[in-house]
Amino acid sequence: MSGASAAVQHDDQTQLRRDADAITALGVTGVQARLVTSDGRNLTATSGVASVATRRPVPRNGHFRIASVTKAFVATVILQLAGDGRISLDDTVERWLPGVVHGNGNDGRAITIRQLLQHTSGIHDDYPDYTSAEDFYRHRYDTYSPEQIVARAMRHRPDFQPGKEWRYSNTGYALLGMIIQRVTGHPWHEEVKDRIVRPLGLRHTFWPGTSPTLPQPHAETYQRFKPGGPLVDVTKQVSLAGNGEAGLVSTTADLNRFFRALLGGRLLPPAQLTQMKHTIPVGKEFEPLMPGARDGLGLFSRPLSCGGRYWGHEGGDSGWISAVGVTADGRRSVTVSLSGAIAESADQVLRVVQAESKLIDDALCPAPNAGRMRH
């Protein structure tokens, strides 16, 4: 490595560590981040602790629940099926799941697969959640089938007519998981494993099913259910709804590999990747959290401070927050996992998300020249 290259790498490493420390300074208990540079170098940074009890350090490649980042995997499978000619993105939900989306103004005949992918279906979300520490301990091993999740949504009228607005919908991705099973005869997570995980060698990416534990190494994650309340270790639980909208476990290295392969054209034919990257603006409620974001099909794009845009996805679940960003050519990527993201107010959530977004932007906008830090 030349002196200039070594200096740039040092700048990248220093900035990554500085940005990780800025996140834990906001009260997040642990952070791990991994940047893959255009020439394939892996740079990692950790901050905080993996356990507030033992104060052990955060592992550099710990397992974590990736929550809604799962949606990018599910969308990729759907687009592969479209590329194979087995489905069309303009197929209605009713075609594949007759009678499932109906009642209270919901109509599967008027909703397409594309609208499910792009959060424009109008289907209302009614997801189970924990309301207190007692509620968590009572229900942390409960599971919900996709049919149960969809049935909860059908108790409500749609938020808007299909295609008329944008609103993030977990239920839409539960329906996509059901469509994958109807088309292939296999659960969505098996298709993810066969079509993505195995071909890419993602050895630490899997669907845990009803197991409440994570493999070692991993950080513990925590939650406060009310401001000033006790800090509750919420690491050991079954994902309330791991039906395609969430549910996978992974690592920073595996997520970088997946998104680099996806944006690099290794998982989808050009026509399907182009459709995946056709974006629309996100709704007003998301704009403060993701300024300038646009939504594709299982991918978000966001502006970079150095020009252009990057692609990726974010997720959050019971103290976990994760995010992935990759440049448009798929050559430079970063993944960050936050554990114990104990945000007790909307303002605190916004500050944490802004610090996470800054880490991604700094990582994807390389140092302009050796020895000079950005920002």
What digits encode the pLDDT tens for the residues 172-195? 999 999 999 999 999 999 999 999
CA atoms of 48 and 177, how far apart (whole Å): 36
Amino acid 296 reads: G
CA atoms of 64 and 216, how far apart (whole Å): 10
- What structural domains and CATH numbers belong to the chain? 3-364 (3.40.710.10)
pLDDT tens digits along 282-332: 999 999 999 999 999 999 999 999 999 999 999 998 889 999 999 998 999
Q: What is the mean pLDDT of residues 108-120?
A: 98
CA atoms of 28 and 339, how far apart (whole Å): 7
CA atoms of 257 and 216, how far apart (whole Å): 20
CA atoms of 171 and 127, how far apart (whole Å): 8
> Which pLDDT band, with edges at 50, 70 and 90, does 101 fall under?
very high
Q: What is the mean pLDDT of residues 346-370?
A: 87
DSSP single-letter state for residue 282: P
Structure tokens at 264: 């690099």
